[in-house]
A and B are shown apart, each in its own frame.
Chain A
Amino acid sequence: MEERIGVFVCHCGTNIAGTVDVKRVAEELAGYPGVAHSTDYTYMCSDPGQNLVKEAIKEHDLTGVIVAACSPTLHEATFRRAGTAAGMNPYQVEISNIREQCSWVHQGDKEAATEKAIRTIKVMIEKARLDEALEPISVPMTPRALVVGGGIAGIQAALDIANSGHEVVLVEKDASIGGHMAQLSETFPTLDCSQCIMTPKMVEVAQHPRVKLMTYSEVDDVSGFVGNFKVKIRKKASYVNRDVCTGCGLCSEKCPAKAPSEFDEGLAERPVIYTPFPQAVPNKPVLDAEHCTYFLKDGKCGVCAKVCPLDCIDYEQKDEIVEEEVGAIVVATGYDLYPIENMGEYGGGKYPDVVTSLQFERMLSASGPTGGEVRRPSDNEVPKEVVFLTCCGSRDPESHLPYCSKVCCMYLTKHAMLYKHNAHEGQAYVFYMDVRTGGKGYEEFYTRAAEEDDVLYIRGKVSKIFEEDGKVMVWGVDTLSGKKIEIAADMAVLGLATVPNKAAGELANMLKLHQNEWGFLSEAHPKLRPVESLAPGFYIAGAAQGPKDIPESVAQASGAASKVASLFAETEYHREPIIACIDEDTCAGCKVCVSVCPYDAAEFDEKDKVARIKEAICEGCGACIAACPSGSASQKNLTDEQLYKMVSAALEV
């Protein structure tokens, strides 16, 4: 078929025309083989510019279009749409970059820049002459979402997706949803009771007709691809028939054995058959077999089974694998605190009156181990002087973590205030490097602490904490006065760094989700795509992506939910067709392509003894094409023939 390529050379104001003689370029290319129309224009991306393309396609019956302008990352989509509007296949519209790769880098040399621009465009003309009309690949879309993690971010994402009309499976590894926010006493800067604002959402998500809530469960395996994931979820054995259980609580009440309470951060004990906290959703207990007398001592005890009025206890219960089909996965697995064992300078966890921030939070909580009173763990006395330390592990590249954990300045301010509200005569000290108060109302909150609650802020780091004579000795410095400070305090609270949840790391590895060196999930673009992963179909929200506070976690969750809703808006998912394909006539069945593909997109058909590309998964990376020994693998619209012709045009050979 006769090639009739249209060439449109953009001036881009003076960005290109200032260095490249655009008129001469358009004139010289008019005579190039295959070119039926060649022109130049000031701003091709403008509406009139785009109309030039559309009109020329119709008037000159063009078979291909080259727009010589800026980088394709900017306007390839724009001109493909213009081409489509005029009836041309979008994959026959090409961009030739004569700005970033020509005019912008050769600004002193007009002659050379013009010659280079001409050659650059010739390269793309050669490509366009052999371009085929391609259709986007459609795959069916299962409009159901999986949300991994039942903290505030996971709950919000599940609610938003469900409210947009799609089913959600919400998986949480603990016995109840709520995450760390459920452990908090009050939240900054409003000092709202954390449970009070969270439990309505917890109940809403549990009762939502489109949400399938699976607690005490973990994701075991994910296969498939965007729109078509197959997920295996392991419902861990709770030894309780949670469907029949009414949550009466008799089993927990009568259970004689105890274990350290995870929810109370080890400050108290809980029964072995337990619900983690009174407002748990679902309010159904689980049995912790690792500490259970029945399991450890061969069937001794069994009290819970005896007292249960509905016969819900089942010691024979096994883990159950549930399979779900979903189209999108939101990962909202949250955070943990940097282990106190790593802070040897502050005792490494061996001093009872040096506590973690979450432990202090549990003390402040009315339903916590001390009934909402601040007490020294060693002797249960009310502490008269409490030292709060920011940056325990954060902002310390030499010994610990280099990054800022964002929320500690605020929550330690909150802790200091609440301690003062608790113990009016007490003295609170906060050792800080900077007080970071970037959110709305945050600076005012900090001012309130310093001015109304007499919290003493000391600018300096604490070098050592040890216990002496029943006191917590804190060695610090006040850099503003240049003096060393020693405080014989009653208690110290460590603002430990935020790290990604440990269990989440294993999940991310299984899903092959990219993480940064500290284990936080990587977003697709640090500025413009904060809630998506680069892997299609995976979205991220909350502290799993990086340290953040509750409003940001909720915002990200809603953002991820909206991305999922847009994905589900089409019944089919469309993929770019510029992928690999295999010539089955020449394929020798060596399977090299199968072994090199990083996406598992190449599969070998045992019956036909040839390899095939799974169009729904192939990302067009080119690994199989390079590896194929028989040259049977090639890329759509970037064949070897096209490449040879493009290189020849570039080198003028």
Chain B
Amino acid sequence: MKIPYYPGCTLHERARDFDDSAKACASALGVELEELPIWTCCGAVYPLVTDSVMDVLAGVRNLSYASRIGDKVVTLCSFCYNVLKRSNNVMRVDLDKREKANLFLRADTAAREKVESYTLEDYEGQVEVLHYIEMLRDVVGYDKLAEAVSKKLDGLKVAPYYGCMLLRPKKEMNFDDPEQPTIFEEFLEAIGCDVVDFPMKTECCGGFQVVNDEELAVSCSQNVVVSALKRDADVIVTTCPLCRYNLDRHQEKMAERISGFTKVPVVYFTQLLGLALGLGKEHLDFTDNTVDPMPVLAEKSLI
């Protein structure tokens, strides 16, 4: 089965390991992630202005491309998911913006030159935006997932980190309970991990503030990492390249500031999934990780 896939900029660059492991796992589960033939950056952050349509065009155009090859689009990056889903909501409910956006879409002749099937149809929000983990839960099913697991990650204590973008704002994202979400915990149980519940799992890692005020990002990330560490997590999983960067990169500083601090590797959930599905080391590319996850995985006899 094929599902349209929108990787987003980062998954093709700094987070190639995420993209690679995700595709390999999907394939192993019988799902072909069909990358959109053409796509652009989604805009990265959903706009705060509400009186203009320009700011949602990037996301809307990608959704419109997706609508030509399917009725769903799967994405992995939390920020892309947030932007695409909320832009999609605008197209579904705001008729005025929908009309204006479609005027721009119709003028997108460059796309039609590249892909013949891009005809002049209006986009009305008909695509369903899915996060990869929603695809695992709803399209594949966690029970089928559990059956496909060849190597249960026994003894590995995993702390699922949600961050902000997946869950908020609650009504638009409609992803999971924003205070006590469980979708990642259920996933981790399905692949046999020991799940570590920690109170900071929905708190911000610092996000883009790292560009402007690194100290702020360090302090936010520290809050999250220390909370997971206190509950004996071996590994933190995330679904956002920026979260992974922040939580991972700043641990050097955390180690300097906190006596007795033990570093906790931060990996993408699809990398653990790959291990569980028996895809082996080839899909585990940790070159970008500051804190190397290999030692703890080796210690638990998982590689």
Q: Do A and B bind each other?
A: yes
Contact B199 A466 (CB under 8 A): yes
The residues of B that contact A467 with a CB separation of less than 8 Å are 199
Taking CB atoms, residues of chain B closer than 8 Å to A469 are 230
Nearest-Cβ distance from residue B236 to partner chain A, whole angstroms: 17
Q: A464 to B180, alpha carbons, bound, how many Å?
A: 11
**What is the distance, in angstroms, from B154's C-beta to the closest C-beta of chain A?**
25
Residues of A within 8 Å of B179, CB to CB, are: 343-345, 348
Which of B170, B179, B200, B227 gathers the greatest number of chain A CB atoms within 10 Å? B179
> Chain A residues near B199 (CB, 8 Å)?
464, 466-468, 473
Is A399 on the interface with B (CB-CB < 8 A)? Answer: yes
A381 and B9 CA atoms in complex are apart in Å by 54
A343 contacts across to B, CB distance below 8 A: 179
Give residues 206-260 of B contacting A (CB, 8 Å): 227, 230
| Number of interface residues, chain A, beta carbon within 8 A | 11
CB distance from A351 to the nearest CB of B (A): 9
Query: Which A228-255 residues have a C-beta within 8 angstroms of B?
Result: none
B285 within 8 A of A: no
**B17 nearest CB across to chain A (Å):** 32
Contact partner of A399 (CB less than 8 A), chosen from B170, B200, B230, is B170
The B-contacting residues of A in range 442-471, CB under 8 angstroms, are 464, 466-469
Q: Are A468's CB and B230's CB within 8 A? A: yes
A467: min CB distance to chain B, Å? 7
Pick from B177, B200, B227, B230: contact of A344, CB under 8 Å: B177
On chain A, the residues within 8 Å of B177 by CB distance are 344
Residues on A with C-beta less than 8 A from B170 are: 399
- Mask for B141-184, Cβ within 8 A of A = 1, else 0? 00000000000000000000000000000100000011110000
> How many chain B residues touch A (Cβ–Cβ < 8 Å)?
9
Point out the residues of chain A lying under 8 angstroms from B180, CB to CB.
344, 348
The distance in angstroms between the C-alpha atoms of A345 and B200, with both chains bound, is: 11
Complex-state Cα separation, A495 to B179, whole angstroms:
19
**How far apart are A492's CB and chain B's nearest CB, in angstroms?**
14
Chain B residues, Cβ within 8 Å of A399: 170
Shortest beta-carbon distance, B57 to chain A, in Å?
A: 29
Question: Distance (Å) between the CB of B229 and the closest chain A CB?
Answer: 12
Docked Cα-Cα span, A343 to B179, in Å, equals 8
Please report the C-alpha to C-alpha distance between residue A467 and residue B198 in the assembled complex, in whole angstroms. Answer: 10
In the assembled complex, the CB of A309 is this many whole angstroms from the nearest CB of chain B, namely 51
What CA separation (Å) do A519 and B195 show in the bound complex? 39
A405 to B303, CA, bound (A): 57
A467 to B230 Cα, complex, angstroms = 12
Residues of the B chain whose Cβ atoms lie less than 8 Å from the Cβ of A473: 199
Q: Give A413-445 as 1s and 0s: 1 = Cβ < 8 Å from B's Cβ atoms.
A: 000000000000000000000000000000000
Chain A residues lying within 8 Å of B227, measured Cβ to Cβ, are: 468
Shortest B8–chain A CB gap in Å is 29
Q: Which residue of A lies closest to B170 (CB)?
A: A399
Closest residue on chain B to residue A473 by CB atoms:
B199
Closest to A350 in B: B180
Contacts of B230 in A (CB 8 A): 468-469
**Chain A positions 372-419 with a Cβ under 8 Å from a chain B Cβ:** 399
Expressed in whole angstroms, the Cα–Cα distance for A468 and B200 within the complex equals 11
Please give the distance in Å from A346's CB to the nearest CB on chain B. Answer: 8
Q: Which residues of B contact A468 (CB under 8 A)?
A: 199, 227, 230
Bound CA–CA A468/B178 (angstroms): 20
Report the separation of the CA atoms of residues A469 and B229 in the bound assembly, to the nearest whole angstrom.
Answer: 13
CA distance A468 to B203 in the complex (A): 15
Q: How far is the CA of A411 from the CA of B178 in the complex (A)?
A: 30
Which partner residue on chain B sits nearest A343 by CB separation? Answer: B179
Q: How far is the CA of A343 from the CA of B177 in the complex (A)?
A: 11
Which residues of chain B come closer than 8 Å to A466, judged between CB atoms?
199-200
Chain B residues closer than 8 Å to A345, beta-carbon distance: 179
**Distance (Å) between the CB of A269 and the closest chain B CB?**
27
How far does the alpha carbon of A148 sit from the alpha carbon of B258 in the complex, in Å? 62
A166 to chain B, nearest CB (A): 51
Q: Which of A297-347 contact B (CB under 8 A)?
A: 343-345
Q: What's the minimum C-beta distance from A344 to chain B, rounded to whole angstroms?
A: 3
Q: Which residue of A lies closest to B198 (CB)?
A: A466
Once the chains are docked, how many angstroms separate the CA of A399 from the CA of B167? 14
Cα–Cα distance between A464 and B227 once the two chains are bound (Å):
14
Q: How far is the CA of A7 from the CA of B200 in the complex (A)?
A: 79
Nearest CB to that of A469 among chain B residues?
B230
Q: Which residues of B contact A348 (CB under 8 A)?
A: 179-180
Chain B, Cβ-Cβ closest to A349: B180
Interface code B22-56, partner A: CB below 8 Å = 1, 0 otherwise? 00000000000000000000000000000000000
- Bound-state Cα–Cα, A473 to B230, Å: 15
CB distance from A270 to the nearest CB of B (A): 30
The residue on A at minimum CB distance from B179 is A344
Alpha-carbon gap, A473 to B178, bound state (A): 19
Residues from chain A with Cβ under 8 Å of B200 in the complex: 466
In chain A, what residue has the closest Cβ to B180? A344
10 extra A-B contacts, CB within 8 A, seeds A468-B227, A469-B230, A473-B199:
A343-B179, A344-B178, A344-B179, A345-B179, A348-B179, A399-B170, A464-B199, A466-B200, A467-B199, A468-B230
The 6 A-B pairs of least Cβ separation, nearest first, read A344-B179, A466-B199, A344-B180, A345-B179, A348-B180, A344-B177
Interface residues of A (CB under 8 A from B): 343-345, 348, 399, 464, 466-469, 473
Can you give 18 contacting A-B residue pairs, CB < 8 Å?
A: A343-B179, A344-B177, A344-B178, A344-B179, A344-B180, A345-B179, A348-B179, A348-B180, A399-B170, A464-B199, A466-B199, A466-B200, A467-B199, A468-B199, A468-B227, A468-B230, A469-B230, A473-B199
